[in-house]
Amino acid sequence: MLVLSRKSNESIMIGTNVEIIVLGVEGDNVKLGIRAPKEVDIHRKEIYMAIQAENRAAAINSLSIEDVTKFFKK
């Protein structure tokens, strides 16, 4: 893991097109700004983990083509 120190209004670059800016520090909270292309997904880790869990659950419970066609038969 790379560990960096930054002050308010300083930033780091990830690759050539993602910039993380420290907007402020208040106690234990750090407010970050992120500049990135729209095609780059950005989530808080707890949200990302929830999305991954939902995707895994959906894959396990996925229906087969035969199951889906049963819904449309009369």
Domain that holds residue 38: 11-72
Does any domain span residue 67? yes
Provide the pLDDT for residue 15. Answer: 96
Does any domain span residue 34? yes
pLDDT digits (tens, 9 = 90+) for 53-62: 988 888 777 6
Alpha-carbon gap, residue 64 to 15, rounded angstroms? 41
Does any domain span residue 60? yes
Domain count for the chain: 1
Alpha-carbon gap, residue 20 to 12, rounded angstroms? 5
Flag whether the pTM goes above 0.75. Answer: no
Provide the pLDDT for residue 74. Answer: 60
Contact 32, 47 (CB under 8 A): no
Does any domain span residue 3? no
Does any domain span residue 26? yes
Does any domain span residue 6? no
Alpha-carbon gap, residue 32 to 11, rounded angstroms? 9
